[in-house]
Amino acid sequence: MPETNHPLPPLRSGIEVVDRRDDFRGAALAGVEAERRFIESKRHMLRTNPWLQPNERARATQAFADMLGPSAGLAPEGPIPGGVGYGFFYNPAFRSSFATGTSLYWEIVCPDLPGGNVTDWLYITATNRSAKGVEALIRYDGQNNFTFGVFDWARGEGDRWRVHQYAELAPYRAVESAHGADYQVVVVMNSTYQDTPGNWVNEVYLLDATTQQWAFLYSFAYPATLQDQTADGVGTWGPIVETFQDAYSGTNPMGALKTQLAARDAAGNWGPWAALTTTQSDPRVDNKGFVQQFVDANYSWTIHS
C-alpha cells in the first residue's frame, strides 16, 4: 500500500490508499478553448466581484493576469445584454398584491453622464408590478447625457418606446441628499389602474423641481384584465440598473431613492404609499462590477464601480 506524504483527513485516517493514477491517465485534455474559457470566467469573477472595492478588484485582476502571463491569450470580455448590475425584484406574493391598480414612486439617481467605461446602453428602470404597465426609465447610450424613456408594454409593435432628450428634462432634474451625499435625481411616478371594467390605463408623471408640481406627461388606455396584469414576466423587477456590457468600472453613482408603491383594491380604493421592504423584494446582483455604496433595505440605494 502506498503511503501519502501528508496526513489524511482525521475522519478518513483509517482508509487505505490505492494508487489509480495509471487508470486515470487516459482522460483527454479538455482542450485549449475550454481552458481559456475557464480562465476567462475566473477573470470575470475577479473583475466584477461585488464584495470588492474597485481598487481591490483591479489589484486582484492584475495579479491574476501576472500569474498567468501573456501566453494565456485572454480576449477582451464581450457584452452580455439583460444583466442586472444591481437592483431588486418583487417577490411573487407582493408582485401580484393589487386588484384594480398599482403605482410606483421613486427618485432615480442619475448623473448627467454615466462615466467610467460605459460604451453601450445602460438603463435605470423599474416596473410598477403590472405586466402591461410602463417602464419609465433613465437611459444612457455611451458617454452622452441621459435620456428619459417610456416603454409601454400595453402598446402594439413599433409603438411601445418613446424617448425624451436630456434638454427637455431640465425642469425635472432635482438634487436629493442621502447618507451625506447629494445626488441628481429625476422623480417619477407611474401608475396602472382599471379605468372602467375591462379597461386599464397607464400613466407617467414627473415632478417639476422648479415649480414643485407634478407634470402629467404620458397616458395610454387599453383593454385588459387583472389576469393580464399579473401574468408572469414583465412586472417582476423593481428598481434595477440594467446592463449591456460584461463589466463596468469607474461609473458615477446611480440608483434609487425613496421607492414606494401603492395598491388599489377590488373596490377601487387606493391603499397608502409604503416604502419597498425586504419582505416584498429580493436583491439581484449579476457581478457586473458594481459596488453598493449604501442600501436602506430595500427602498433607497446607490452603486458605483
Partner 1 sequence: MEGSRPPFPDGSSEFVDRRDEFAASPADRDSERRFIESRIALIASDPRLSDADKERAIAPLQAALEDSSEAPDSPA
Instruction: Give contact residues for partner 1 (rule: CB under 8 A).
Output: 80-84, 89, 101, 103, 105, 121, 123, 131, 149, 151, 156-164, 168, 189, 191, 193-195, 201, 203, 205, 208, 211, 213-219, 231-234, 236-237, 242, 244, 260, 262, 264, 268, 270, 273, 282, 284, 286
Closest CA to 145 of 100, 89, 186, 193: 186
Taking the complex as a whole, the smallest distance from the CB of residue 260 to partner 1 amounts, in Å, to 6
Nearer to partner 1 by C-beta: 54 or 289? 289
**32 grid coordinates:** 485549449
Taking the complex as a whole, the smallest distance from the CB of residue 231 to partner 1 amounts, in Å, to 7
Nearer to partner 1 by C-beta: 53 or 277? 277
SS3 per-residue string spanning 208-262: ECCCCEEEEEEEEEEECCHHHHCCCCCCCEEEEEEECCCCCCCECCEEEEEEEEE
Taking the complex as a whole, the smallest distance from the CB of residue 58 to partner 1 amounts, in Å, to 26
Nearer to partner 1 by C-beta: 64 or 222? 222
β-bridge mates for residue 243, sequence order: 83
Nearer to partner 1 by C-beta: 54 or 246? 246
Taking the complex as a whole, the smallest distance from the CB of residue 298 to partner 1 amounts, in Å, to 15
Are the C-beta atoms of residues 60 and 46 closer than 8 Å to each other? Answer: yes
Nearer to partner 1 by C-beta: 254 or 261? 261
Taking the complex as a whole, the smallest distance from the CB of residue 166 to partner 1 amounts, in Å, to 13
Nearer to partner 1 by C-beta: 110 or 285? 285
Taking the complex as a whole, the smallest distance from the CB of residue 223 to partner 1 amounts, in Å, to 15
Are the C-beta atoms of residues 240 and 284 closer than 8 Å to each other? Answer: yes
Are the C-beta atoms of residues 270 and 264 closer than 8 Å to each other? Answer: yes
Q: Compute the distance between CA of residue 37 and CA of residue 30 in angstroms, rounded to an integer.
A: 11
Q: Compute the distance between CA of residue 144 and CA of residue 299 in angstroms, rounded to an integer.
A: 28
CA max distance for the chain: 86
285 DSSP assignment:
-
